[in-house]
Amino acid sequence: MLIDTTLREGAQLFGAYFTIDMRETIAAELLKIGVDEIELGWVGMDDMEEFIRRIRPMAGQTALSVWSPCREADIKVAATLGMDRVNIGVPVSDEHIENRLKTDREGLLERLASTVLTAGLLGIKYISVGLEDISRADPEFALKAALLAQDMGASRVRLSDSLGLLKPSEMEELVRTFRDRLDIPLAVHCHNDFGMATANAITALEKGAAFADVTVLGIGERSGVAATEEVAAYLTIKEESHGYQIDRIRPLCGLVASAAGVSIPRTKPIAGKDIFACESGIHAHALSKSPRLFEPYSPDAIGANRTVAVGGKSGRAAVADALEENGVEWSGQSLPGLVSAVKKLAWELERPLTSVELVELAKKH
């Protein structure tokens, strides 16, 4: 199950400023895709109450949550928002406990117990406790904090690899350790500093976590987190374990990219414009026979289009297929010269040829 936190973690991206109208549009599209929970922001946002009023009528079965630091004062504010879930963040590494919170392990546990207990007394029915910087924490202490949160009434524990240090095998072991000791569901929050976020999120879900945090395009602090489009597509297409409406996800990626001021690499998984573009001769010819030979799924599955063009990497078979597709008659004797001309022009233009350019070139040969 996916917790989309584009409007909380994603909004923390350096230089990203989402207006309330844009946040509403993003939330509406996430609801259409069918994510299981949307983290709408954090306690203390100036317009959070107005934003919740806008989103609540359209939420349907999707849970709405808000993030809060582990402080009773903030929990009291969170309790007034009428959210389905409150996600409490608490660091569990000594680095954070000592240098950021200026306390010790026992002091942290006291704060955690008091905050979770207060949340329950204030009527918050679903309390999620996020253990931050889990990858640098003492495992036994982190587990102690998780068990304490459960005893105080938490409904979920979220393991946050805040610096993206874990690899899939380490994530598997971490999830197994907590899953075996806890009676409440696990979630994971995987940062992408070493490019492991999506793999870690999927591994965690496969090995027993019930939830994974994601953001559109993976945006967030530093290198961001696991990408909504990648995890949702993998679960829907490859695993066939979920039914997210991923044919709607590419336009959402474009919307978020524009709003956040980031570009989408043309080869970015799921979102890139050229992920179904082919120029290589062997691959292009094979695609004309059976797309399944070199495509992991149909472009239709994500609302994309296939582009096959000829250029400097194309051979006779690929050029012949392109001529046939464009309704150009040709003879075997003229083909070698045309192939050479195609390659020469493509290298001069530093790109594959358009259909118009190919037809014009064919007329000359």
Residue-range domain boundaries for the chain: 2-260, 277-364
CB atoms within 10 A of CB 297: 17
Distance CA(166)–CA(145), nearest Å, equals: 20
pLDDT range class, residue 323, cuts 50, 70, 90 = confident
Report the chain's mean pLDDT, rounded to a whole number: 92
Q: pLDDT tens-digit profile of 287-301?
A: 656 677 778 899 999
Q: pLDDT tens-digit profile of 139-152?
A: 999 999 999 999 99
pLDDT > 70 in the chain, percent? 95
> Coil, strand, or helix at residue 140?
helix
Distance CA(109)–CA(101), nearest Å, equals: 12
Distance CA(278)–CA(288), nearest Å, equals: 11
Task: Tell me which CATH code domain 2-260 carries.
Answer: 3.20.20.70
Strand 186-190 and strand 156-161: pairing? parallel
Strand 186-190 and strand 63-69: pairing? unpaired
In terms of DSSP H, where are the helices of 152-303? 168-181, 197-206, 228-233, 249-260, 281-289
pLDDT value at 94 more than 70 = yes
User: Which residue has 């094979």 as its token pair?
Assistant: 286
> Coil, strand, or helix at residue 323?
helix
| Residue from 278, 280, 359, 279 nearest 325 by CA | 359
> Coil, strand, or helix at residue 305?
coil
pLDDT value at 308 more than 90 = no
Scored b (16 or more CB within 10 A) or e, 29-42 reads bbbebbbbbbbbbb
pTM: 0.90
| Nearest-10 crossing angle of helices 105-121, 72-79 | 20
Tell me the two tokens of residue 46.
């100036």
Distance CA(271)–CA(303), nearest Å, equals: 10
Distance CA(120)–CA(78), nearest Å, equals: 12
Q: What is the mean pLDDT of residues 305-324?
A: 75
Distance CA(227)–CA(217), nearest Å, equals: 5
CB atoms within 10 A of CB 320: 20
Least confident of 186-200, 244-258, 278-292, 324-338: 278-292
Least confident of 29-43, 101-115, 134-148, 307-321: 307-321
pLDDT value at 166 more than 70 = yes
